[in-house]
Amino acid sequence: MPDPEKEKLILEETVYDLQKDFEELEYIARSGITQLNRFELNLERVRKSIIPEILIDIKNNINLLISQYNNLLQRLSTAKKDLNETNKSQKAILEASFHKRVNFEKLRALYNQTAAAVTSLDWQSPTASHTLFSQAGSQTGKILATLIDYKRDAHLDETGYEKKFLNQNIDALVKVGIKTYMTASGMAAFTTIFNFLMGEGKLEGKVLLGKSSYFQYKNLLSNPLDDRIIEFDEIDLEKLKDLVKKVRPSAIFIDSLCNTADLPFPDLKSLIKYMEKECDWNIFLVIDNTCLSTSFQPFRTLSPLKRNIGLIVFESLMKYHHFGMDRTTGGIIVARGKDIGKLYDWRKNSGTNITDMGVYQFPIPNRKMLDRRLKRFSRNTSILTQKLQQFIDTTSGKYVNSIIYPVQKPTFTGSFFNIGFTKPDVKLYKQFIKSVMEEAKRAKVEFHHGTSFGLNHTRIYLTSLWTKYGDPFIRISVGTENRLEIEKILTVLEKTVRIING
């Protein structure tokens, strides 16, 4: 029987969700306007170095884009006002949800145009000086020959984002000595780190590697390090401590939340504290923090006085920091320790730097907005995992018998979960995905079959299918849907479980 009181509460929560969604879109839009305004100020500074006709065209383009952003902000303001004045009916909520979707898609397109506009006058090989007209665009007068005159190596565009990222997203007792470097992707960040450690002779001893590390990292490390690698179980902290003490490794590679079939959630705070106490040799701790982002702050845990422990943390920016836009790849390295400044040179030598346009396709870092987004992911994932597990427990678990998600931790534990089956069966996995998509289409519920996570709409994917470094599994990457939408997604998944289990 329908519960009117429950339905009322869900509708009220949905309205609140949509208000916050509109605020998130406003933040993204204002971030784009800020980038354009800064670019316009730079144009005034270098106007004598730019061909006048080109300058007119660029300014017209800036004005057009800002006008489009302002129109979008006006639509968002109206949508928020209309939602406030409704009786919280499902019809009003559906209309607001549609406005949110349309304006989000407009923002995605605008961000691509904004990035192109802001870098439109610049050169990938900007010159340090000129005689007539500049070949350094808006960065005229700021280019240092042999240092930042080749953007594949380094460029001025990334430095502002790096400083803002450190200021907004990294917690530490002391931030002096912490270096931040953007890269072309999360994988590029890892490649840069590995090349630095290998090239600087930091991996002469044994190297500990979490057995549930991302499969491409394992693939990259396996041949160069060969018999120096020792894999360990991420959730068996006591064995890991004994291993660290016994082999005195040069480095430890670990994920803060492992994106594998069983989703291990290591106790990294305890590991760091143990290392502080016991490690009296030079050692690097390399953490992929993509899945937890700002919810896990290792620099707040490790004392800056432990100079023999190098801490290198990296993320894929396109997951959470891109706010669902999925327009470009990007990565970030945050590090402190001995010789850590050489990461700058190894990023250059590895060709892993982010493009100038890539930088401007990310909103300006804003901790408040990011943490709010993570909170939505956490709520949605908790609802789906808990209710799906309850559903499975009360029905026959012939094939689907569990939901895999580290719910025991009292903190943000990622935005995805896995479907547990009684036995491995890739054919059955594919049938499950097919059934989900059919049920969602029948119910007119938006669902997507595709990879990645941190997006606005829930996705389902069969991952680790073509690698020897991991077992295939079904991952459901939860979106930032509102409360009412999550209920509909839950219904789709429950029906699919019932179908698969017969």
- What digits encode the pLDDT tens for the residues 154-175? 999 999 999 999 999 999 989 9
Residue spans of the chain under pLDDT 50:
none
pLDDT given at position 87: 63
Q: CA 455 to CA 18: how far, in whole Å? A: 16
d(CA 434, CA 430) in angstroms, rounded, equals: 6
Residues 6+ apart with CB under 8 A from 118: 35, 36, 38, 39, 138, 360
Amino acid making up residue 211: K
Other Cβ atoms within 10 Å of 396 Cβ, number: 12
Q: Taking Cα atoms as reference points, which of 31, 21, 32, 36 lies closest to residue 76?
A: 21
pLDDT at 408: 61
Q: What is the C-alpha separation between 493 and 388, in angstroms, rounded? A: 8
Sort strands 179-183 and 331-336 into parallel, antiparallel or unpaired.
antiparallel
Structure tokens at 104: 């989000």
**Cα–Cα dist 285/254, whole Å:** 8
Please tell me the distance from the alpha carbon of residue 277 to that of residue 270, in angstroms, as a whole number.
11
151-364 against 368-501: fold identical = no
Pick the CATH number of 151-364 from 3.40.980.10, 3.40.640.10, 2.70.150.10, 3.30.70.920: 3.40.640.10
CA distance 241 to 257: 19
All residues at 6 or more sequence positions from 314 whose CB lies less than 8 Å from its CB, including other chains: 183, 186, 189, 190, 193, 286, 287, 288, 289, 290, 331, 332, 333, 334
CATH number of 368-501: 3.90.1150.10
**CB of 182 within 8 A of CB of 331?**
yes
- The DSSP H or E segment spanning 67 is helix 52-84
3-class DSSP assignment, residue 29: helix
* Interatomic CA distance for residues 47 and 149, integer angstroms: 20
The pair of structure tokens assigned to 474 is 């079904």
Mean of the per-residue pLDDT values for the chain? 95
pTM of the model: 0.96
Task: Enumerate the β-bridge partners of residue 342.
Answer: none
Where along the chain do its domains lie? 4-118, 151-364, 368-501
Question: Can you give the pLDDT at residue 1?
Answer: 58
> CB count, 10 Å around CB of 255?
24
The single residue listed with the structure tokens 């939860």 is 478
Q: What is the DSSP letter of 465?
A: -
Sign of CA dihedral 265, 269, 270, 271: positive
SS (H, E, C) 277-304: HHCCCCEEEEEECCCCHHHCCHHHHCCC
